[in-house]
Amino acid sequence: MKKKTVFSYVTLLLVLTLVLAGCGNQNNNPANPNNSGNDGGSEGQEEARAFRLNLHSEPPSLDPALMEDNVSGTIATGIYEGLTRKDESGNTVEGMAESWEISEDGKTYTFKIRSDAKWSNGDPVTANDFEFAWKRALDPAIGSTYAYQFYYIAGAQDYNEGKTTNADAVGVKALDAQTLEVKLNSPTPYFLGLTSFYTYNPVHQSAKENAGWAADAATIIGNGPFKMGEWQHNTSIKLVPNENYYAKDQVKFTSVDFTMIADSATELANYETDQLDYTGKPTGEIPAEQIPVLAESKKDEFHQVGTASSYYYMFNMEKAPFNNVKVRKALAMAIDRQSIVEDITQAGELPAFGFVPPGIVGVKGDYRDEVKDDFFKEDVEEAKKLLAEGLEELGLSSFPEVKLTYNTNDSHKAIADAIVDMWKTNLGITVGTGNEEWAVFLENRTAMNYEIQRAGWGADYNDPMTYMDMFVTKGGQNNTGFASAEYDALIQKAYASSDQQERIDAMKEAEKILMDQLPILPIYYYSSVYMLKPGFENIYLDYKGDIEYTRGYYVAK
Amino acid sequence: MLKYVSKKFLSMLASLFVLASATFFLMKLIPGDPFLREKAIPEKIKESLYAMYGLDQPIWKQYLMYLNNLLHGDLGMSMKQQYMSVTRIIKDSFVYSAQIGVLAIIVSVAAGLILGIIAALNHRKLLDSLTIVVAVLGVSIPNFLAASALQYVFGLKLRLLDVSGLNDWTDYIMPVLALSFLPAAFIARLTRSTMLEVLSADYIKTARSKGLSGRIILVRHALRNAILPVVTYIGPMTANIITGSVVVEQIFGIGGIGKFFVQSITNRDYTLIMGLTLFYGIILMVARFLTDVAYGFVDPRIKLSRGKGAK
């Protein structure tokens, strides 16, 4: 161990020398928008160093077409860049595209690819690479489970579902090396934001010859701020700056080192012993019982941010007694959400009385600010009355035997136990609980073989639609039996319109119907908790809790 | 000897075939499949994924295909980790498990034997009682508790060792110790009791009366007999330890093979489930086979063939 200490001193000395030698340059660098705040005083100097965080587990794929989880997505943020990217305030800004034009009807997008866009091997990134990547993901033969992300593009769904085998029918075309034209089915105001999502990343043409190109560091060609340095499967990934990146001056970390530690206590121990600079969401986790302790003892390092995800229960509306709206309402009104987030989850979650979580864009600001979630209230007396009425309407003398199922997880269990207890105390009804292993749980959901089931939903893109279109009649995610022609019409109206006010109004009405009928019982809106060592700047979580680290830097205090 | 080995080998093959077949059909009985997602996958995509892995065929055909591939040494591609072969997943992760496992075996056997002998030679004295206390503790403390305690004390509090990872030799200390406690304690107890039995046997008394020195008696006569039950135990222990401990590997953040035993089933990663089962089966059988052979070396009374024993 001694050897290590000496080594780290030597490294520190070397790094300091380098930084001192180079800082004159760095501080005058206009490309770094974050310098202004640090130039002022003797506060500290930017220091070139690595950023170390936990990835939790092996990314199942690093091929943009095949990625489907946030572990893979976290690496993708570093090694790829789409037409656009997100800045630190969550705005969509220029990425591989330096500019774009949107047609009058909002259905045609023309992107200009920047001329200095390069792959990590030095090849230029062209509009053809995007056309190739998107059509490749849509090709049913490749088996992309996230290809539906492209369904806004004209002809994409037909091609993906095999209704046509002609890829030319898909509305994406490279007019020349620098110009990409995209034709949409309907005006989709959030389409631009989608182009920064990992499924939309370009793919190098070498993927044609090597289907398994993304399984090894050596064969991965990316176009992001970083490139693959080292990939020890199931152990670690090291990203190093990509010298071919057009904005390489903005990249400050000497490397981004990911460990794959599955145990949250071990992750925290690594953070506490300075082996990690970051711990917690999205890819790591702080042990739940440690959260209140750390929030107190490490105030400067502890962060808590809202995350656009909802936690709720689904009712099976095809089975009694949940085919009765009064019964559903009674159950929704008879629980104490504040106590659940304060006493059980304890990570700053917000009680939910609607379906769309905060963090989703509305007309001008946050949708949840513009449309208050006061669709129903917690009221035990009213709930009792509704339950009695509901059961009478159903011709039931007592509450039937039902079960609340959740996928195996300590936190889900604690919440389920608490809610069942609240129902017992407040309504005098007994509801059983039980856990199911994930795959079994999903099978039962799809087959609607449940009475009440736990569910959660995170945003795919930043628009209320990512939540609202789930509950259209017979929708793929609507496993509750909820069917409302009025609801469907409102969703269609929002789909067809390019006027944001009109869209939001339609979705607001739809949410009102949903919260009036309550096929689901909202419980809370998620939050993300993480800790970051002092000195690290410009590391942040976006609206849906994904981490952005590519422009991060370190200032010695 | 040759006849014995070939007989053993054939029975191993038969066992493997039964193991592979039983696992294959049992696995297909679990609800769910590898491509079940919270967001339903379009039918066409599901079809092409099924076709990619041959899941669109009837079960019996899948079974025959599987056996055919197996004969060619092909364990297939993982259904979760894209474009990773099962062989590679096993190879990459087994390296870590095997390194830690082999060290743990050496530590367990050495520590167990030494403690056992010390205890037996100091029968009913202080050292004996101490060893028994240590052994009882070792047997009753589960390895995940030992691992967490070691990590907390040496990693987090004293900061003498890194809390996780396998980057230099010092990183091996804690996981190896955590894995060794139980087998070492077990071997110590085993050695002690058989040693006590052997030391009071007639032939030891004879050796003593012949005037042989204590050390010769101990090594040539007593230990040789006392080690027999230990050898029996080493076989299954080896298989268990080197195929990885899910919990110890998880606590020390080691990318070993242990976690795949659980993960592959959760993911319904059919090819990986089969690959791991066979791999574990082979390790277990080979370990037992070697134990049988080792028996012959240690104890000439056990004959492996018609000839004069393995010696």
Residue A3 reports pLDDT greater than 50: no
Candidate ranges A103-107, B36-40, B245-249; pick with highest mean pLDDT:
A103-107
pLDDT digits (tens, 9 = 90+) for A499-525: 999 999 999 999 999 999 999 999 999
Which chain B residues touch A477 with a CB distance below 8 Å?
38-40
Which of A142, A215, A259 shows the shortest C-beta gap to B253?
A: A259
Count of alpha carbons within 13 angstroms of residue B61, beta-carbon side: 7
B217: closest CA of chain A, how far (Å): 43
B contact residues 191-220, partner A, Cβ 8 Å cutoff:
none
8 A C-beta contact, residue A378 and residue A423: no
* The Cα angle at residue B191 between residues B190 and B192, in degrees rounded to 5: 95
3-class state of residue A555 by DSSP: strand
d(CA A395, CA A170): 54
pLDDT for residue B218: 79
Which of B48, B82, B148 shows the shortest C-beta gap to A61?
A: B82
B101: closest CA of chain A, how far (Å): 18
Extract the tokens encoding B296. Answer: 């012959």
3-class state of residue A324 by DSSP: coil
pLDDT for residue B303: 61
Residue B81: phi and psi, rounded to 5, are: -85, 110
Element spanning A109, H or E: strand A108-113
Which chain A residues touch B261 with a CB distance below 8 Å?
none
Q: What is the DSSP string of A189-251?
A: TTHHHHTTSGGG----GGGGT-TTGGGSGGG----SSEEEEEEETTTEEEEEE-TT-TTGGG-
3-class state of residue A484 by DSSP: coil
d(CA A253, CA A238): 12
Which of B44, B81, B254 shows the shortest C-beta gap to A160?
A: B44
Higher-scoring residue by pLDDT: B235, A445: A445
pLDDT digits (tens, 9 = 90+) for A51-60: 999 999 999 9
Extract the tokens encoding A456. Answer: 């959660």
The reply to whether residue A263 touches residue B251, judged by beta carbons under 8 angstroms, is yes
Domain count across chain B: 1
Which chain B residues touch A272 with a CB distance below 8 Å?
156
Q: How far is CA A460 from CA A109, A391, B38, in A?
A: 21, 38, 13
Residue A404 reports pLDDT greater than 60: yes
> Searching chain A, which residue's CA lies closest to the CA of residue B91?
A233
Q: Residue B240: which pLDDT band, with cuts at 50, 70 and 90?
A: confident
User: What does the H/E/C string look like for A158-192?
Assistant: HHHCCCCCCHHHCCEEEEECCEEEEEECCCCCCHH
Which of B39, B152, B253 shows the shortest C-beta gap to A261?
A: B253
pLDDT digits (tens, 9 = 90+) for B256-308: 998 898 889 989 999 999 999 999 999 888 888 888 877 777 777 766 554 44
Which chain B residues touch A68 with a CB distance below 8 Å?
37
**C-alpha A495 chain-centroid distance:** 22
d(CA A353, CA A379): 13
pLDDT for residue B244: 66
- Tell me if chain A has a CB within 8 Å of the CB of B309: no
ipTM: 0.87
In a domain, B269, yes or no: yes
Rounded to two decimals, the pTM is 0.87
Q: Residue A34: which pLDDT band, with cuts at 50, 70 and 90?
A: very low
3-class state of residue A507 by DSSP: helix
B120: nearest Cα among B110, B111, B131: B131
> Searching chain A, which residue's CA lies closest to the CA of residue B170?
A1
pLDDT digits (tens, 9 = 90+) for B79-132: 999 899 999 999 999 999 999 999 999 999 999 999 998 898 888 889 889 888
B contact residues 152-171, partner A, Cβ 8 Å cutoff:
152, 155-156, 159-166, 168, 170
> Which residues lie below 8 Å from residue A238, measured CB to CB, with a gap of 6+?
A228, A229, A230, A231, A255, A256, A257, A258
A24: closest CA of chain B, how far (Å): 36
Element spanning B238, H or E: helix B224-242
**Between A and B, how many residue pairs show a Cβ–Cβ distance under 8 A?**
129
pLDDT digits (tens, 9 = 90+) for B47-67: 889 998 999 999 999 999 999
3-class state of residue B214 by DSSP: helix
Which of A235, A272, A446 shows the shortest C-beta gap to B40?
A: A446
d(CA B103, CA A136): 48
The reply to whether residue B80 touches residue A60, judged by beta carbons under 8 angstroms, is yes
d(CA B176, CA A101): 61
Which chain B residues touch A232 with a CB distance below 8 Å?
255
Burial zone of B6 (CB within 10 Å; 0-12 exposed, 13-18 middle, 19+ buried): exposed
d(CA B243, CA B286): 13
A41: closest CA of chain B, how far (Å): 35
pLDDT digits (tens, 9 = 90+) for A88-114: 788 899 999 999 999 999 999 999 999
Element spanning A541, H or E: strand A540-541
Q: State the average pLDDT over residues B225-254.
A: 84
3-class state of residue A534 by DSSP: coil
In a domain, B32, yes or no: no
Residue A527 reports pLDDT greater than 70: yes
d(CA A191, CA A110): 12
Q: What is the DSSP letter of A104?
A: T
8 A C-beta contact, residue A278 and residue A539: yes
In a domain, B74, yes or no: no
In a domain, B215, yes or no: yes
Which of B44, B82, B253 shows the shortest C-beta gap to A161?
A: B44
Residue A269 reports pLDDT greater than 60: yes
The reply to whether residue B250 touches residue A266, judged by beta carbons under 8 angstroms, is yes
> Which residues lie below 8 Å from residue A271, measured CB to CB, with a gap of 6+?
A277, A278, A279, A531, A533
Q: What percent of chain A has pLDDT over 70?
A: 92
pLDDT for residue A160: 93
The reply to whether residue B44 touches residue A476, judged by beta carbons under 8 angstroms, is no
In a domain, B36, yes or no: no
In a domain, B196, yes or no: yes
Extract the tokens encoding A2. Answer: 């001694």
B121: nearest Cα among B10, B48, B44, B204: B204
A286: closest CA of chain B, how far (Å): 14
> Searching chain B, which residue's CA lies closest to the CA of residue A264?
B251
Q: How far is CA B185 from CA A147, B103, B129, B177, B295, in A?
A: 55, 16, 13, 12, 22
CATH of the domain at B164: 1.10.3720.10
pLDDT for residue A78: 97
- Tell me if chain B has a CB within 8 Å of the CB of A439: yes
- Tell me if chain A has a CB within 8 Å of the CB of B274: no
A contact residues 229-288, partner B, Cβ 8 Å cutoff:
232-235, 259-263, 265-266, 269-270, 272-273, 275
For CA atoms A492, A493, A494, A499, the dihedral sign is: positive
d(CA A202, CA A213): 14
**C-alpha A172 chain-centroid distance:** 25
Q: Residue B143: which pLDDT band, with cuts at 50, 70 and 90?
A: confident
Q: Residue B219: which pLDDT band, with cuts at 50, 70 and 90?
A: confident
Name residue A130's amino acid. F
A225: closest CA of chain B, how far (Å): 24
B88: closest CA of chain A, how far (Å): 10
d(CA B43, CA B64): 26
8 A C-beta contact, residue A310 and residue A467: yes
A contact residues 459-498, partner B, Cβ 8 Å cutoff:
476-477
Which of A143, A234, A443 shows the shortest C-beta gap to B93?
A: A234
Domain range for B163:
86-306
Q: Residue A466: which pLDDT band, with cuts at 50, 70 and 90?
A: very high
Helices and strands counted in chain A (H then E) = 17, 22
pLDDT digits (tens, 9 = 90+) for A218-266: 999 999 999 999 999 999 999 999 999 999 999 999 999 999 999 999 9
Instruction: Give first-to-last CA distance, chain B, whole Å.
Output: 11
3-class state of residue A86 by DSSP: strand
3-class state of residue B309 by DSSP: coil
In a domain, B34, yes or no: no
In a domain, B311, yes or no: no
Q: State the average pLDDT over residues A9-23.
A: 42
Q: How far is CA A246 from CA A30, A223, A242, A385, A479, in A?
A: 15, 9, 9, 65, 46
The reply to whether residue A439 touches residue B33, judged by beta carbons under 8 angstroms, is yes
Residue with tokens 């389409």: A191
d(CA A523, CA A331): 11
Residue A1 reports pLDDT greater than 50: no
Residue A166 reports pLDDT greater than 90: yes
pLDDT for residue B32: 85
Residue A64 reports pLDDT greater than 80: yes
**pLDDT, chain A, mean:** 90
8 A C-beta contact, residue A238 and residue A255: yes
